[in-house]
Amino acid sequence: MVSGVIKVDHLLTNMAAELTTLIKARQLDNPLMIGIHTGGVWLAEHLHQQLAIESPLGTLDISFYRDDFSRAGLNPKVQPSALPCATEDRHIILVDDVIMSGRTIRAAMNELFDYGRPASITLVTLLDLNRRELPIQADVTGDTLQLADDELVKLTGPVPLALEIRKKDNL
């Protein structure tokens, strides 16, 4: 049973405005936006369109870079990463749906560096759950959310995009 559903349109609009300001302030010329499968790609598609970024959108599947790979096993829906151009000396905007421990972002950065050394990485997440295990913080966040120990959040989509808060035993 779903405990609650949150529409994300207003969060995306606010994130796009904040990201536009940040791009200008940091003088990030022609950034490359990359979404992390799956929810981060859905969000990146929306932000990429709203910001009218010239470079094509890239996608990362970090399944082989996760540090829990040996414990959790391989994600049965592994997809290839698709970077449309070189990342060397590029300003990267990395998009994911939720930042919790920081481990997914660490895995994504490890994969990005295998393609080349970016000039910078700007992290954008829809939600921050404030449960860090690694010192990684988002530059732009749609909102923060405190979940009970028996709850989890899931981005559903791609159309419409919505956040569902569920009890862990009702997956």
Identify the band that residue 1 occupies on the pLDDT scale cut at 50, 70 and 90: very low
Give residue-wise pLDDT tens across range 33-85. 999 999 999 999 999 999 999 999 999 999 888 776 555 555 567 889 999 99
The reported pLDDT for the residue numbered 54 is 95
Q: How far apart are CA 149 and CA 46, in angstroms?
A: 31
CA angle 6, 12, 14 (to 5 degrees): 110
Between 7-21, 23-37, 74-88, the lowest mean confidence (pLDDT) is in 74-88
The reported pLDDT for the residue numbered 169 is 76
Is the confidence at residue 8, as pLDDT, over 50?
A: yes
Give residue-wise pLDDT tens across range 113-156. 999 999 999 999 999 999 999 999 999 999 999 999 899 999 99
- pTM confidence score: 0.92
Write down the residue that tokens 């990429």 correspond to: 48
The reported pLDDT for the residue numbered 66 is 77
Kindly report the length of the chain: 171
Find out whether 152 and 142 touch, Cβ atoms under 8 Å: no
List CB contacts of 93: < 8 A, sequence separation 6 or more.
19, 23, 28, 31, 32, 33, 34, 47, 53, 121, 122, 124
Q: How far apart are CA 35 and CA 96, in angstroms?
A: 6
